[in-house]
Amino acid sequence: MLNKKKKKSVPAISTASLPDIVFMLLFFFMVATKMKEVTLKVEIKRPFASFATKLDDTNPIKTVYVGKPIASMQSTYGTESRIQINDVIASDVSGLVQAVEDWREEIGDANIPKLTVLLKIDKNTKMGVVNDIKKTLRDREQYKIAYSSSKGDDAEEAN
């Protein structure tokens, strides 16, 4: 029995369907990919919250980033927490005033009450900066905000 099998040569496996499989995977990733809209110049690790909801993306969302500047930016911006708006690191919180004006102009008058400002803030930031941002937004009557966070418990904190 063994001998018989050995004599027969194993037929080559057809690889004709390989492209199909690969294409299927490719399409999946193409659909699932969301391109980053800005280059981050600050490092952001999201904080954990036991409960968080998905943002309703039918309404306009604009993002403010806060964190320590990334290594290549530290020579110009230092290592203290900085605020990044759009593609630039703002010198201080007052840069937010202009940004809110720009966003409002961009989305149009009708959408202004729907605008949510998403705060993507590094978890090791001190609340002082966060509070300055909140105060500025409140002064500009931009009341809808959201704190970006990961769902679940912080693994590092558990120890």
Interface residue list for other proteins (CB under 8 A): 15-16, 18-19, 22-23, 25-26, 29-30, 32-36, 47-58, 116, 118, 121-128, 130-131, 134-135, 137-139, 141-151, 154, 157
Least spacing, CB of residue 136 vs other proteins, in Å: 10
Place of tokens 């912080």: 154
Place of tokens 């693994």: 155
Least spacing, CB of residue 89 vs other proteins, in Å: 18
Tell me the three state secondary structure of residue 61: strand
User: Which residue number, 10 or 32, has a Cβ lying nearer to other proteins?
Assistant: 32
How far apart are the C-alpha atoms of 135 and 129, rounded to whole Å? 10
Amino acid (1-letter code) at residue 96:
L
User: Which residue number, 18 or 88, has a Cβ lying nearer to other proteins?
Assistant: 18
How far apart are the C-alpha atoms of 137 and 118, rounded to whole Å? 11
